């Protein structure tokens, strides 16, 4: 059944686990996530960006998710709008049947320019008033995502500040988080603690404190009833980078957020963990390998099935590692 983000994360908080939120825009991704959830008995957060709705088309995306719910009637599914850049985008998502929306007021409507705190409060407060009136949950964001190593916001994927960010912008302030939650009423809060979007997060193998772990615990203590969200949480598996390169792909040396760091984050209060890049990497790697190893093949289903299987295995690993398995 479709459920709200609040319902799923309240349970996660009670039991002390984290829930991966996977980005989707096509059928094979939805199937991979649902098969992995069914196999591990995990609750599911499917999230779609405005770009995903544009790619698939609003009706296709909506019906894909309805099909997932029909095919897996015993698995709770949240349909979440990822990085809503305006109140209007959130309203469109709600009309489309989403049970949760992210109002990302940390950036202006261009999704690039850091916004003022006052702007963020105003748009998030409005999104909460509209969403809560119809039982839809809201995720806000405070602070700008970016690497503490480089000060960069990460790859230009249309979501993230452009250019260098100061250390202050890169870390969410706990006192401000408390004020923000009181002023807006958000159910979940995306925090800036050193993660960034995309494949190119860290240039060296992460050692020690790459994330502001102590900061997560401080924010959690400041807003104990608001569920903390970690964006930019792909781990960028080195074995899949090797496969992509082996079969002709070009990808520079890069490192993601190790699963053990995410597990530490969950112990400090993180409940929702956003993953998009890892699914992209494994699906593309599996397709490259299939097409290279079977050059006479031309049934697209062979490539899509290989991609789906690789994504499914990744999702099983994340459900298990985050303590989500067995919770549905």
Catalytic residues: 82
Q: Is 249 left (phi over 0), alpha (psi -120 to 50) or beta?
A: beta
Task: Report which DSSP code applies to 107.
Answer: B
Q: Indicate whether 201 belongs to the interface with Zn ion (CB under 5 A).
A: no
Cβ proximity to ligand 13P: between 158 and 291 the closer is 158
Which of these, 150, 228, 244, 136, lies nearest to 189 by C-alpha position?
Answer: 228
Choosing from 105, 232, 285, 323, the residue that interacts with ligand 13P (CB under 6 A) is 232
Does the annotation flag 14 for ligand binding? no
CA atoms within 13 A on the CB side of 29: 24
Residue 113 annotated as binding site: no
Helix 27-40 vs helix 277-293: crossing angle, to nearest 10: 110
312 lies in the binding site for Zn ion (CB under 5 A): no
Quick one: which of 28, 35, 82, 152 contacts ligand 13P (CB under 6 A)? 82
Q: Which lies closer to ligand G3H via its Cβ, residue 35 or residue 276?
A: 276
User: Does 82 contact Na ion by CB under 5 A?
Assistant: yes
Ligand-binding annotation for 141, yes or no, is yes
Name the token pair of 322: 């985050």
User: Among 80, 125, 197, 308, which residue sits at the site for ligand 13P (rule: CB under 6 A)?
Assistant: 197
User: What DSSP character marks residue 296?
Assistant: T
Q: Is 78 in the site for Na ion (CB under 5 A)?
A: no
Give the interface with ligand G3H as residue ranges (CB under 6 A): 23, 49, 51-52, 82-83, 157-159, 197, 276
- C-alpha span between 230 and 278 (Å, rounded): 15
- Judged by beta carbon, residue 40 or residue 196, the one nearer Zn ion is 196
Nearer to ligand 13P (CB atom), residue 25 or residue 226: 25
| Closer to Zn ion by Cβ: residue 231 or 289 | 231
Instruction: Read off the tokens for 55.
Output: 């790619």
Residue (of 104, 36, 13, 9) closest to 278 by Cα position: 36
CA distances from 304 to 72, 299, 300, 301, 310 (A): 21, 9, 6, 5, 10
**Which is closer to Na ion, CB of 102 or CB of 219?**
102
The listed partner (ligand 13P, Zn ion, ligand G3H, none) that binds 184, CB under 5 to 8 Å by sort, is none
According to the binding rule CB under 5 A, does residue 8 interact with Na ion? no
- In terms of C-beta density within 10 A (0-12 exposed, 13-18 middle, 19 or more buried), how is residue 57 classed? exposed
| Separation in Å, CA 69 to CA 31, 164, 204 | 11, 42, 41
Interface residue with ligand 13P among 131, 277, 283, 308 (CB under 6 A) is: 277
Q: In whole angstroms, how close is the CB of 307 to ligand G3H at the nearest point? A: 17
| 75 assigned ligand-binding residue | no
How wide is the angle at C-alpha 258 spanned by C-alphas 238 and 308, nearest 5°? 55
Q: Counting contacts by CB under 5 A, is residue 68 touching Na ion?
A: no
Nearest approach in angstroms of CB 41 to ligand G3H is: 27
Q: Interaction with Zn ion in 220-279: which residues (CB under 5 A)?
A: 231, 274
Q: Report the alpha-carbon distance of residue 111 to residue 101 in Å, rounded.
A: 16
Cα distance between residue 15 and residue 80, in whole Å: 22
Residue 80 binds ligand 13P (CB under 6 A): no
User: How many whole angstroms separate alpha carbon 121 and alpha carbon 184?
Assistant: 6
Structure tokens at 235: 């781990």
> From the list Na ion, Zn ion, ligand 13P, none, which binds 42 (C-beta under 5 to 8 Å, kind-based)?
none
- When asked if residue 102 is in the footprint of Na ion (CB under 5 A), the reply is yes
Residue ranges binding ligand 13P (CB under 6 A): 23, 82-83, 197-198, 231-234, 274-278
Binding residues for dihydroxyacetone phosphate, as ranges, are 198, 232-234, 274-277
Q: Which residues bind Zn ion (CB under 5 A)?
A: 231, 274
């Amino acid at each position: 059944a479709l459920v709200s983000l609040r319902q799923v994360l309240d349970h996660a908080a009670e039991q002390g686990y984290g829930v991966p939120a996977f980005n989707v825009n096509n059928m094979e991704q939805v199937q991979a996530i649902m098969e992995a959830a069914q196999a591990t008995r995990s609750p599911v957060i499917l999230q779609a960006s405005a770009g995903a709705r544009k790619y698939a088309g609003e009706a296709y995306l909506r019906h894909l998710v309805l099909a997932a719910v029909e095919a897996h009637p015993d698995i709770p599914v949240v349909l979440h709008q990822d990085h809503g850049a305006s109140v209007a985008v959130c309203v469109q998502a709600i009309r489309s049947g989403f049970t949760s929306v992210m109002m990302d007021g940390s950036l202006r409507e261009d999704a690039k320019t850091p916004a003022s705190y006052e702007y963020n409060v105003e748009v998030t407060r409005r999104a909460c008033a509209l969403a809560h009136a119809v039982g839809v949950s809201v995720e806000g964001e405070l602070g700008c995502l970016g690497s503490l190593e480089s000060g960069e916001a990460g790859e230009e994927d249309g979501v993230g500040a452009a250019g260098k960010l100061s250390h202050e912008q890169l870390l969410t302030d706990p006192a401000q988080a408390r004020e923000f939650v009181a002023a807006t009423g958000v159910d979940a809060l995306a925090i800036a603690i050193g993660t960034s979007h995309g494949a190119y997060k860290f240039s060296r193998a992460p050692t020690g404190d790459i994330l502001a772990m102590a900061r997560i615990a401080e924010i959690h203590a400041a807003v104990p009833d608001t569920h903390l969200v970690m964006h930019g949480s792909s781990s960028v598996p080195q074995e899949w980078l090797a496969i992509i390169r082996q079969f002709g792909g070009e990808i520079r040396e890069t490192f993601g957020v190790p699963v053990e760091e995410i597990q530490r984050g969950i112990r400090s209060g993180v409940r929702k963990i956003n993953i998009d890049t890892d699914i992209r990497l494994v699906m593309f790697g599996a397709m490259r390998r299939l097409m290279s190893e079977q050059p006479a093949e031309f049934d697209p289903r062979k490539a899509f099935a290989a991609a789906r299987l690789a994504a499914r295995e990744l999702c099983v690993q994340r459900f298990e590692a985050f303590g989500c398995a067995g919770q549905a």
